[in-house]
Each structure stands twice: as C-alpha cells, then as structure tokens.
Structure 1
Amino acid sequence: MVKLTKVLEDVVFTSNTDSKGFDDIEIVDIAYSSLKCQEGYMFVALKGETVDGHKYVFDAYSRGARVFVLQDDIEMADDAIKIIVEDSRIALSKISANYFGNPSKSLKIIGVTGTKGKTTITNYISEVLNRAGINTGVVGTNGTFYNNISETTVNTTPESYELHRIFRKMLDSGVECVSMEVSSGGLQRHRVEHVDFDVAIFTNLSPDHIGPKEHPTFQNYLECKAKLFTLAKHGIINIDDEHAQEIIDIATCDIETFGIKKQADIRATNIEYSKNLDSLGVKFVCETKNTAGNYYICSPGMFSIYNALAVIAVCKYLGVKKEITREALTEAKVCGRVEVLSVLPYATIIIDYAHNGVSLENILKTLEHYDHKRLICLFGSVGGRTKIRRKELGDVASRECDLSILTSDNPDFEDPLEIIDDIAKSFDKAKSKYIVEPDRKKAVQLAVRMAREGDMIVLAGKGHETYQLIKGVKVPFSEREIVKEEARKILESRKDEIMIAN
C-alpha cells in the first residue's frame, strides 16, 4: 500500500476533500476498469475513443473504491474523495509511476518508434545487450520478456499503469535495461508521459494508422512519433527517411544519425546479399567517424540493414564492445519477422508481419535480390481499419507478385469476402493473377501445395500472432504449424510415390 500523498506527488488537481488528510489514506492499488476495483482501490476514469470511464464511477464505488481521479466533476457520495484533473490519462501516467516508485528512473529505457522495424530492433537490442552482460527486458508487440518470464500485452505500448507495473517487476528481478516499442497510439494517449527514456530511436515514417479511431491526419501521426524525442536524453535517427529532419526539428535531446544513402554518424556500405536453406541474409560494412567493420545479419534487405544500424548505434552509445555486437547480430532472429521456414527443400516459405502497403512492398522488393522463380504472396487485411490499407496492399501485390492468394486476416466483425473484394480491385488491370480463399487455414495449405521448385512464398500479415480475430473473439491459429503439417504431408506423399515407382 502507498499513501495517497505519495501517489499524488507532482499531480496538479483540485479536490472536494482537504488534502492535509491524504497522508492518512493508503491506496491498496490503482484501477482504470471498475471491474478490478476492491476496497482501498483508487479508480481512474479514462476517456477513451468509444468508452468514457466516468460512466463506471458508481460501479467502482459499489466495489469498494473511495478515491476517484476524474476529468469531469460528478456528484458522488460524501465519503468519496474526488481528485479532479485536467487530463485523467496524463494523471494516470504520473500516479502509476509514483505508485510503483518511479522504476523507470532506475532502469535504462530505450524506446523505439516508427512505422516499421520497432519489434525487430527492440528484440535485437535485447539479444545483444544480454550477451554483453546487461540484463535487458523487452516490451512490445510480441509481449513482455525478461529473465525467462513472458507476459502477453494487449497493446504494443501498454497502458501507463501496466507499463510502470512491468518496470517495477523487471527492476525487482534484476533487469537493468528495457528495450521497448513506443507506438504512436501510446504517445498520443500519454502512456509513456512519465517514462524516463535514456535513448529514443526513430526508424522510418509512412502513412499508417490514419483513421477515425487512430490519427486524424498524417501530421498528427508524425507529431506523436516525434514527441518521444522530447522525453529522451539521446536520440538516434534514420537520416535517410524523408521525415527525419521534421523529427529532429521537434526533438529536444541530442541527436545521432544512421543511414545508407546520406552521410550519417553510422553508415552502411559494401552491401551484399546471401541465401541458404534457413535464412536470407545480408553482409555490409559499418562505418563510423573513426572505424569500419564487417557485419552479417540473417535477415534480408535494406530494411534489415537499417534495423541493424539502429542496434549498432545503441550499443555504441552504451559502450558495448563491437565484437559482441557483431557476433550477436549474426545470430539474431525475431519470430514472425522475415522468418524462413525450412520445411520444403525445393521452395522458400517466409512468414512476415507485413500488414500495410509499405511493409509488404519492402519485403517483396527485397526478395528480388534473391534467386527465385515465382513470387507468391498470401495476405488479407484487418477488419475495422481504414480501407486505404487494403488498396495499398492490393496495389503492391498486384505489381510485385506472380500470384497472390487473397484471404482473411483478423476480419473481426467484417465479412472477409468484403475485405477481399476491396483488395481485389487492385488486380483489375494488373497482369498478376490472384486466387480467393477466405478461410486462412485452407489458403495456407493451398500455398504450400502450390509451391514448385525455386518458388518463394510470403505469408504476410500474421507474423508472430497465434490467433485470428473473428467477431471479437481471438480464435487460436498458428500459421507456422499449418505450414509444417502441410509440408510434412507433401514430403511423406512424395516419399511414398518414389517407393512405389521403384
């Protein structure tokens, strides 16, 4: 339990109760869902896109809460302590940090933001730093990981209370550093307002998450991303991105740059592509002001080099030996990010999280550098999101692929066939062909069966996910296991055919 005075430290508020008595009140815990409230809890009423937490204040009261953080003053029972603030989300951020003892101040926090690359970079950073003897945890799209402990997260950047709770658990478990994804939504909703960032990384920026329930404009999206660089001590920025200077102009921290095309503090040159059975890789020389070194990563393409450069920049800033960074990057892999499944000896099957036009184009264009015959892409588009994304995905696939298999991808409450119809419009005047199979399991099985000698097949959109979101329910779905099982059947049948022929 924490005294109310301590929880409200540095929070600007008014109250219906004299604050002199707050030192005698102890807070058992904090909740922003009334269902979690118990006696002694503080309830924070958040205003969301579709739900207003103020509607649940009386439910929280009935469950035992007596301290309420409110954005709107409402009539309550006399024994209810009302803490009125200007923005309850910002208040939750500071209150949570205080409640858990401001753990981010005792950790090295590395935040990664941008449209693409966040998950890969945060996981690469963790792999390298752990190998260097710096106990590092990860927070992001794939969940929370530290000391062989994992926890699923609802959002890429968890709500501020969850975030500081996780930091506290990490710190108490001996974690020294946290590598975390910082989404534009997390910044927009003040989830990281009171996180003490040591380093901020900017990967790239392209139109995404623009819509009624996300960002109203691209400029708003950009400004939300840039906000991270007003919260950090040191910024590391991809100078090749067309929006890099806009981020730098907003930043209040010192800046270091990385890139390939432009002059940068850390730059990649002499790029070579390589391929083997279980990975598509790339070699490059990393140049800094005074040094140059050879690097290899078992992930393909230019975007993989940008990811590696960001990691190299962080490790350099933290004083990690170059040899350790180089060795760790050679072996670093991330589940569902350009993940090669070595299940068929005659074709390459790749699982990737690419779920918007830019990400899909990146991976498909990257594969042009590796020998193949047909390029086949299986993908869909998420229901309940902007239809622009569907057109962008369709435009890219119809232009870059020999064949596309259009299927479902977390359709939620939308009809998968209607989503597919939106995508299919891009193929009207394209030479590229497509097949429709709304059942994603059947579509994946079909893709594996269709594979011929030298083909490359990209299963895009699901990546690390192990579910399909259908009508509000997360239905278990492992694309990886479906591929392995179908490949096993194919190889078994071929073995039987050979035996019969002999």
Structure 2
Amino acid sequence: MRLLDIMNEVEFNSNKPWDEIQNTEIKDIAYNSSKCEDGYIFVAIKGETVDGHKYAQNAYERGARVFILQNDLELDEDAIKLFVNDSRIALSKMSANYFGNPSKELKVIGVTGTKGKTTITNYISSVLNKAGLNTGVIGTNGTFYNGKKEKTLNTTPESYELHRIFRNMIDGGVKCVSMEVSSGGIMMERVKDVDFDTAIFSNLSPDHIGPKEHPTFEHYLGCKAKLFTLAKHGIINIDDKYADQIIERATCDIETFGIDNKADLNAQNIEYSRAIDSLGVSFDVKTIDETFNAYICAPGTFSIYNALAVMSVCKYLKIEKNIMIEALKSAKVKGRVEVLPVLDYATIIIDYAHNGVSLESILQTLKQYDHNRLICLFGSVGGRTELRRKELGDVASRECDLCILTSDNPDFEDPMNVIKDIADSFKGSDCEYIVEPDRKVAIEKAIELAQEGDMIVFAGKGHEESQLIKGEWIPFSETEIAKEAARNIIEKKMEKQLS
C-alpha cells in the first residue's frame, strides 16, 4: 500500500521532500519493533513506562525505513522520518486507512461503564446471532466470531489490532460487532477512528484512578462520556447517578433504560428464582407501546440492567421481540456470576468481581436469595492497586459470614503481604476468616467446608484460565479445581455411607 494512502488525513512533517517519498510502498505497520520487517512502517508510541522511540534503531535493523515519530532521533540517511504531534492518534488513523476503514462496513456497538461491559457485549452477541445477524465480540474475554477465538492483551485492543480484527471479521461474514470500550482505550486513542453505530452506558463508580491510569474521577468520567461523541445513537442507564452528565456531553441521539426512573425501557414486577445450575430473575418490561415478560438466568438487579441494555439495542436494530426474549433466557457469560452445578446442597459461583464496587454488588445480590451462610473466597492482585485491598476487605467483612483470604494474581509480591492488607478490614468484624495463600488449596478448602444451603463465591479471577506468579502465567482453572474437589468430597461421603 502506498505511504500516501496510509497517511491520508494524518498531519505530519518530514525530513524528506514529499515528492521523493509519496509513492513509497508499505508492506505493513508495526508499533512493536520486534515485529518489523523489510517494507514496514514503525510507529514510535510514547507510553506511561515505555517510549517506542528507544526501539527505532532496532526497527531499522529489522528492515523498517519509514518512522512515525514525536521527537527527532538519529537514524541512517535512508530512513524516512514523519513527525506527528501524537503518535497514538496517528496510529489510529493509519490503521483505519491500512485496513480500508473496516468499521464503516460494520454495525459497531460499543459498551462502556465500570461494571457490566463483558456481560452486555456477550448477551448482545448471543441474541443477535440467534436473530440471524452474524455478530462478533471484542472484550476482556478475548475476540470471538464464527466459532473462532483470539486472545486480546487489553479489554479494548490497540487501534492497529482493532482495525485488523474488524477486517478479519468482515472477511468472515460478520455484520455486527459488540465490543467493550474501556476508559483506558478511549484515553489512549484506540477507538478514535472507529465508526460506532451505537454506544451503551451501563454505570459509573470510582475505578482505574491512579498514577498510571486516570488522574481524577472527573477525567475517568470524561473518557467514558467521549464514546457518546463517536456514536450515532446512545443508550443510557438513566438510574445511574452520572447519567445526566453523560447525556449532557453526548452529541448523538439518546434513549434510556432503567428500573427506578422513567425511561424508554423500564423493568417492573421483579421476581428471583434459584436452581442447582442457575440463579435467575424474571421481570416485566414496559415500553411506550407495550409490556411483556422476560427471564434471564443471572441474578440480581444489575443483571436486569444488563438485560435492559441488550433489549434497547434489539429494539433499535428492530430484532423480533420473541427471538430476543428466548435468546436472553439461555444467555450466559463465562466467569460472570457463573454457577457451577458441582454440589447439590450448596451453590458455588465464580465471578470476576475484583474491586470493592463489583464485589459489593454480587454479594448483596446473592443475599436476596435464601441461603445458609454466604462465603467468599478472594484476594487481590500483587504489585499494584493497593487501595483495592481495603475496598475488598471492607465489603467482604461487612457482607459475608465467612471469608477465605487467598492469592489472586500475586506476580512478584508475596501473597501474604496482600492478604495482610485485606485482613486489616476484618478487625472488629463479625465475619470470620481463614488464610490460605495457595488459591488451589483455598478452593478445595471452600468445597470441603460447604454446608447445606451455603452460597460460596470465588471472586476475582472469573473467566481467567491462568494465574500470574513471578512474571509467568501459570495454567489455573477454578472450574476444574472446584469440580475435582467436589468429586472427591462426594466420593468420600459415599464411601462413608457404604462402610
């Protein structure tokens, strides 16, 4: 592809006269120098901890001869330097151009908010696919379409990866994409050149605020709100306390959903149900034109909000109501309030809740169902987000009857350091706690301790299939560990009965 076409609408200056370089052919784009080859253009991105300019020479040695730079640096004479104000913004436009602006050929639905993004995007995919609209998913759990799965490093991939994925989806016959749009993805200009058809706002609470993330909550909110300047249509949870601020900043038309406040879609007459393999909720949905009943096999008020967001999308896309209702009945997301039917006398749940807000939400939701004890097994990541440890401890010690404090993704930090920080919250609390730094042993202990009617939550890791220990991701499946532990308990009980 010609350099001229890749740089379309990108403002830059160069060390070479334009008439000498405009017909330069480019094989591909790379922002990681190790991926460069002959004919590549290297984009030097300035990150929080790594400056891509330091790796330009390595990119040159690997064959790159065109460089997108914010600062001048010394390279051999045949290097073409293109200087831009912001290399991330440049990468976004260049990537869109290189892959033929693929988002314009898709219906892209972006979901933002502190909680619920993964569930909503996956529910949308389930419903739209059953309605015959080939839909892909991009988010925390990876990229999915046509039965294919690709891991993603970030909830919202880098702009180059995003447009590459869009193009691959189109080539595979995908017509619609349901994607998580994180505040970090917006802040880092990853979605700047995505043509969003619809944007969804689920909720907002303080999170991702710190030296390497958002400097203030206002900045965090502003990034979330920016999505509604990139979309044609907005769908807002009107019950959220920050909904009005999102709406005020939006440039697209808006419709709303809610439970407490009047909205375009309202949920009423809520009823909870419980089975060995699911916790569910039924409710009536009221629109301007009609009222109908719906059921989802996920618990609590937050699940209703997620379902209402999906219904709003279906209404906007004119999906047949009966198909939507039936699809939502069976829609599930791995690691999101996932019930493991391993014990017939206790309910075992895996959930990704890894901060105070999300943990409080799931625990308070479970308390709405009949239960004996509420038990939570959790830890917190090592080496960062130390404030979360107190949040998690405060919530769990207040809401639970028993907690098992263990490791999450400790990385290079001693898990006991993290556990000690969490344990401080249990001083003066009526909630008992057990310390077991080995998460596998902790899960086995939780299954062993389960009594009739208990509800036990493994919180923090959710869909993850590995654990980060000393810089290495070690295979780790909570589901398989729980299944094996339950089998052992059941076998021991049977042996005892027979003896």
| Distance in structure 1 (CA, Å) of the matches to 2:143 and 2:452 | 39
Structure 1 position 77, deviation (Å)? 1.6
Aligned AA (2:67): F
Distance in 2 between the 1:231 and 1:121 partners? 19
Instruction: Check conservation: 1:43, 1:60, Cα contact below 8 A.
Output: yes
Matching residue of 1:178: 177
Q: Is the 8 A contact 1:210 1:386 kept in 2?
A: no
Which residue in 2 is equivalent to 1:112? 111
Q: TM-score normalized by structure 2?
A: 0.99
For residue 355 of structure 1, what is the aligned residue in structure 2?
Answer: 354
Partner of 1:250: 249
Query: Partners in 2 of 1:385 and 1:378 — Cα distance?
Result: 20
SS in 2 for 1:285: strand
CA distance in 2, matches of 1:439, 1:200: 41
Equivalences for residues 136-285 of structure 1 within 5 A: 136-285=135-284
Paired AA for residue 416 in structure 2: L
Q: Distance in 1 between matches of 2:310 and 2:214?
A: 28
Q: 1:426, CA displacement in angstroms?
A: 0.6
Partners of 1:19 and 1:127 lie apart in 2 by 49
Q: Distance in 2 between matches of 1:155 and 1:265?
A: 33
Contact 1:296 1:330 in 2 (8 A): yes
In 2: Cα distance, 1:69 partner to 1:231 partner: 25
- CA deviation map 1:354-384 (0-9, x unaligned): 0001111111101111111000000001123
1:306 equivalent to 2:305? Answer: yes
C-alpha offsets along residues 288-315 of structure 1, whole Å, 9 cap, x if unaligned?
Answer: 1111110000000000000000000001
Residue 376 (structure 1) aligns with: 375
> Alignment partner of 2:236: what SS?
strand
Does residue 452 in structure 1 map to residue 451 in structure 2? Answer: yes
Q: Percent identity?
A: 70
Secondary structure of the structure 1 residue equivalent to 2:429 = coil
**Structure 2 Cα separation of the partners of residues 209 and 413 of structure 1:** 21
Shift of 1:452: 0.6
C-alpha separation in 2, matches of 1:197 and 1:471: 39
After TM superposition, the structure 1 stretch with the greater mean CA deviation from structure 2, 133-142 or 377-386, is 377-386
Pairs within 5 Å for 1:339-354: 339-354=338-353
Structure 1, residues 196-219: CA drift from partner, whole Å, max 9, x if none?
A: 000000000011111111111111
Shift of 1:333: 0.3
CA distance in 2, matches of 1:71, 1:237: 37
Question: Residue 345 of structure 1: CA displacement?
Answer: 0.8
Q: Partner amino acid for 1:489?
A: N
1:489 Cα deviation after fit: 0.6
* SS of residue in 1 equivalent to 2:5: helix
State the AA in 2 paired with 1:63. R
Q: Partners of 1:383 and 1:182 in 2: how far apart?
A: 25
Which amino acid letter does the alignment assign opposite residue 455 of structure 2?
A: M
Alignment partners' CA distance in 1, 2:164 and 2:188: 18
| Per-residue Cα deviation, 1:429-455 (whole angstroms, up to 9, x for no partner) | 111111111110010110000001110
The separation in 2 between residues aligned to 1:129 and 1:403, in whole angstroms, is 41
- 2:387 corresponds to: 388
Equivalent residues of 1:7, 1:98 under 8 A apart: yes
1:37-186 equivalences under 5 Å are 37-186=36-185
Partner of 1:405: 404
Alignment of 1:441 onto 2:440: yes
TM-score by length of 1: 0.99
Contact kept? 1:44, 1:88, Cα under 8 Å: yes
Distance 1:20 1:290 in 2: 62
SS at match of 2:126: helix
Count, aligned residues: 499
Cα shift readout 1:135-170 (whole Å, capped 9, x = no counterpart): 000000000000011100000000000000000000
Q: Secondary structure at the match of 1:109?
A: strand
Residue type of the alignment partner of 1:89: R
Shift, 1:412, TM fit: 1.3
2:489 corresponds in structure 1 to 490
Kindly state the Cα deviation for residue 74 of structure 1 after the two structures are TM-superposed. Answer: 1.8
Which residue type is aligned with residue 83 of structure 1?
L
Tell me, in whole angstroms, the C-alpha distance in 2 between the residues paired with 1:459 and 1:20.
62
Task: Measure, in 1, the Cα distance between the counterparts of 2:21 and 2:76.
Answer: 18
Code of the residue aligned with 2:220 in structure 1: it is Y
Work out whether 1:10 is the aligned partner of 2:5: no
CA-CA distance at 1:75 after TM superposition:
2.7
Separation in structure 2 between the aligned mates of residue 264 and residue 171 of structure 1, nearest angstrom = 35
Query: CA offsets per residue over residues 82-106 of structure 1, 9 Å max, x none?
Result: 1110000010000000000110000
Is the 1:402–1:433 contact (alpha carbons within 8 Å) kept by the matching residues of 2?
A: yes
Looking at structure 2, the residues matched to 257 and 475 of structure 1 have their Cα atoms a distance apart, in angstroms, of 43
